[in-house]
């Protein structure tokens, strides 16, 4: 090989080697950095989550107890009513006629009693005369016995008429009550939330009491919260809670857990508890009742609520993201990494109090303002599909 060829080969080798070094330096992966978050003070809650629907604290279906045509409806939807206020009237002519008929029947029986009492008084005088005459043997024994028997018959007839008068009086009272039922009054203070029967409709109360309107108290509401069987053992009546509604997801409303129903609602859908336990393949929820004030009337029937029942809480404590916690050792301490300088990290052992898997209460090992590692940052050239932060390597 000539010297010229050797020179060209050497130059070519240098060019290839230089290109390789440049490519490696330009394309090698930069060691990833870490995402951090500050340790800071705040409030922490451990809660049980549930969802539920609003219902009125007292919802009453106001019905008709007599049949007839709804002659007039005195209220409209949304009206505020007071207990005893007239809300509807049913055509009362049949009840008026019935009352007149029964009142006349009572008067007739009373008149019969007056006539019978007059006959009894006459018979009593006749009996006394026969008794005196019998003592002097001026009257026969047969006449005396006839007068005595007539007096007893009239006494029994008067007793029967007294019973008929009592029966007729009851009929009159019933007719008066039926006449009173033609005027329908609100049983409670509340708001008219539904009008079921319109003015002019005919109702039939012979089998069931037809509903005219529905009145509900809306100044206080109840929430029927569905609490899962996994959480039901953690909650007890009297615990504080808060909830949000769909229209105001960022506003907290306070509430109190009033009671917990002893069995799930599904118990009524099976013949026995054993069948319910063996045949049910769906989740089991128990109903907790929360009572909440509603002075502004903002909360409405059948609205949805997202409820947090507070199990434990801490105020103004040091908080760190739960993602910053590593493995727990035998002493109950967690591993955590803090940033000591840009790009420099140090492992610490920290003592944790409450932990809701989002934030953890730091009792010892960290100070306010320190930065803790919560995830690993990908290189700048990584694909966007993999741009989500990763957890830091497990710390032993």
CATH number (3.50.50.60, 2.40.420.20, 3.40.50.150, 3.40.50.300) of 34-44+314-381 reads 2.40.420.20
Contact 155, 119 (CB under 8 A): no
Q: Mind listing the pLDDT tens digit for each residue in 380-395?
A: 554 444 444 444 444 4
- Looking at the whole model, is its pTM more than 0.75? no
- pLDDT, residue 329, reads 86
Per-residue burial over 66-87, b if 16 or more Cβ lie within 10 Å, else e, is bbbebeebbbeeebebeeeeeb
Q: Which one-letter DSSP state was computed for residue 382?
A: S
| Confidence bin at 12 (pLDDT 50/70/90) | low
| Cα–Cα distance for residue pair 201/350, rounded to 1 Å | 74
- pLDDT of the residue at 15: 47
Could you tell me the two tokens for 73? 């409806």
Q: 225-249 pLDDT, tens per residue? A: 999 999 999 999 999 999 999 999 9
Judge whether residue 25 has pLDDT over 80: no
Out of 3.30.565.10, 2.40.30.170, 3.40.80.10, 1.10.357.10, the CATH code matching 48-57+219-312 is 2.40.30.170
Domain ranges within the chain, ordered by starting residue? 34-44+314-381, 48-57+219-312, 92-181
- What are the tokens at 256? 């109190």
pLDDT confidence band for 378 (50 / 70 / 90): low
pLDDT for res 131 = 81
Rounded CA-CA distance 308/254 in Å is 10
Q: State pLDDT tens for residues 245-279.
A: 999 999 999 999 999 999 887 777 655 555 544 44
Q: Label residue 77 left, alpha or beta by phi (over 0 means left) and psi (-120 to 50 means alpha).
A: beta
pLDDT in tens, 160-198: 999 999 999 999 999 999 999 999 999 999 999 999 999
What pLDDT does 30 receive? 39
């Amino acid at each position: 090989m000539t010297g010229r060829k050797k020179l060209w080969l050497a130059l070519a080798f240098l060019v290839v080697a230089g290109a390789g070094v440049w490519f490696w330096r330009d394309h090698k992966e930069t060691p990833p950095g870490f995402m951090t978050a500050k340790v800071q003070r705040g409030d922490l809650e451990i809660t049980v989550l549930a969802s539920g629907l609003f219902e009125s604290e007292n919802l009453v279906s106001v019905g008709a107890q007599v049949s007839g045509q709804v002659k007039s409806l005195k209220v409209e939807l949304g009206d505020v009513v007071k207990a005893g206020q007239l809300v509807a009237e049913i055509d009362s002519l049949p009840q008026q006629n019935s009352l007149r008929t029964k009142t006349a029947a009572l008067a007739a029986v009373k008149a019969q009693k007056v006539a019978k009492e007059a006959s009894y008084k006459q018979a009593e005088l006749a009996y006394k005369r026969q008794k005196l005459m019998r003592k002097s043997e001026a009257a026969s024994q047969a006449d005396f016995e006839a007068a005595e028997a007539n007096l007893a018959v009239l006494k029994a007839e008067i007793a029967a008429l007294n019973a008929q008068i009592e029966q007729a009086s009851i009929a009159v009272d019933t007719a008066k009550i039926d006449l009173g039922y033609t005027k329908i009054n609100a049983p409670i203070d509340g708001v008219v939330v539904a009008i079921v029967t319109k003015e002019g409709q005919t109702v039939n109360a012979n089998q069931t009491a037809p509903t005219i309107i529905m009145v509900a108290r809306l100044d206080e509401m109840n929430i029927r919260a569905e609490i899962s069987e996994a959480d039901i053992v953690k909650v007890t009546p009297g615990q504080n809670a808060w909830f949000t509604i769909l229209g105001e997801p960022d506003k907290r409303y306070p509430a109190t857990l009033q009671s917990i129903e002893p069995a799930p609602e599904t118990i009524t859908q099976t013949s026995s508890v054993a069948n319910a336990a063996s045949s049910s393949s769906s989740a089991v929820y128990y109903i907790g009742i929360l009572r909440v004030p509603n002075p502004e009337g903002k909360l409405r029937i059948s609205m949805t609520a997202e409820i947090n029942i507070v199990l434990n809480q801490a105020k103004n404590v040091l908080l760190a993201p739960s993602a910053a916690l590593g493995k727990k050792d035998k002493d109950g301490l967690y591993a955590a990494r803090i940033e000591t300088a840009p790009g420099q990290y140090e492992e610490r052992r920290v003592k944790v109090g409450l932990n809701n898997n989002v934030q953890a209460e730091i009792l010892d090992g960290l100070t306010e303002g320190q930065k803790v590692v919560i995830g690993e940052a990908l290189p700048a050239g990584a694909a966007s599909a993999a741009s989500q932060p990763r957890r830091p390597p497990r710390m032993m």
